Amino acid sequence: MALWLLCLRFRGDFLIAIIALGSNIGDRHAHLDAGLAALGTLGAVTASPLVMETPDESGRGPAYLNTVARLVTELEDPRRLLEALLRLERAQGRDRAAGRNAPRTLDLDLITTDGAKGRWTWDTPEDLRIVLGPTLELELPHPRAFTRPFVLEPWRLLDDAGPCQGIVPKR
């Protein structure tokens, strides 16, 4: 890790997060590329070189393409980061009104960060409330991440896990 990055981390000026991306509608590669570009509006992004195809566990749609990215962002609060991810999904055409396991253009899951771990519940921001309801919930690390090969395999191939490496699955 670059010295300037270590200095910034020491001051607490940013958060390092692992984000899982998935798509199973339309041009899945284009949706993943758009998702990675959208993540770039939140900070520096390093994408895994591995994109995996996995079946839709719900049986409601076509297979998913999945990958993982590391995001270095100035959004220090993981709740604000989740809200930003939800807005990016919406901007990329994600229809959350279709239900929890509905097919989607883009799914952005916050897997973990180098910050606090735990569970949070808070009031949904007004611009997200109509689709997501009155409260949002977040659990870090993501409770199902470590059972999903489509998260673990791309995550293992990130060049540098950075400060999140303490919980990155071993090769």
Domains of the chain: 9-166 (3.30.70.560)
The pLDDT value recorded for residue 54 is: 87
The pLDDT value recorded for residue 162 is: 55
Assess whether the previous peptide bond of 103 is cis (omega < 30° from 0).
no
At 124, is the pLDDT very low, low, confident or very high (cuts 50, 70, 90)? very high
The pLDDT value recorded for residue 5 is: 44
At 83, is the pLDDT very low, low, confident or very high (cuts 50, 70, 90)? very high
The pLDDT value recorded for residue 58 is: 77
Strands 64-73 and 52-54: antiparallel
The pLDDT value recorded for residue 11 is: 45
Task: Look up residue 117 and give its two tokens.
Answer: 């771990």
- CA distances 18 to 41, 48, 88, 160, Å, are 15, 11, 16, 12
Between 10 and 96, where is the model more confident?
Answer: 96
* Beta strand extents in the chain (DSSP E only): 15-23, 43-47, 52-54, 64-73, 107-113, 118-123, 135-140
- The percentage of the chain sitting over the pLDDT mark of 90, rounded to a whole number, equals 67
- Average pLDDT over the chain reads 86
Which residue carries 């940013």 as its tokens?
A: 14
Closest CA to 29 of 10, 47, 42: 47
Q: What is the mean pLDDT of residues 55-77?
A: 89
Report the chain's C-alpha Rg in angstroms: 15
At 158, is the pLDDT very low, low, confident or very high (cuts 50, 70, 90)? confident
Return the number of other C-beta atoms located less than 10 Å from residue 109's C-beta. Answer: 19
The pLDDT value recorded for residue 120 is: 97
Question: 22 near 66, Cβ under 8 Å?
Answer: yes
- CA distances 97 to 47, 103, 129, Å, are 29, 11, 11
Res 38 pLDDT > 90? yes
At 165, is the pLDDT very low, low, confident or very high (cuts 50, 70, 90)? very low
117-129 burial: b if 16+ Cβ within 10 Å, else e: eeeeeeebeeebe
Calculate helix-pair angle for 78-91, 28-39, nearest 10 degrees.
Answer: 140
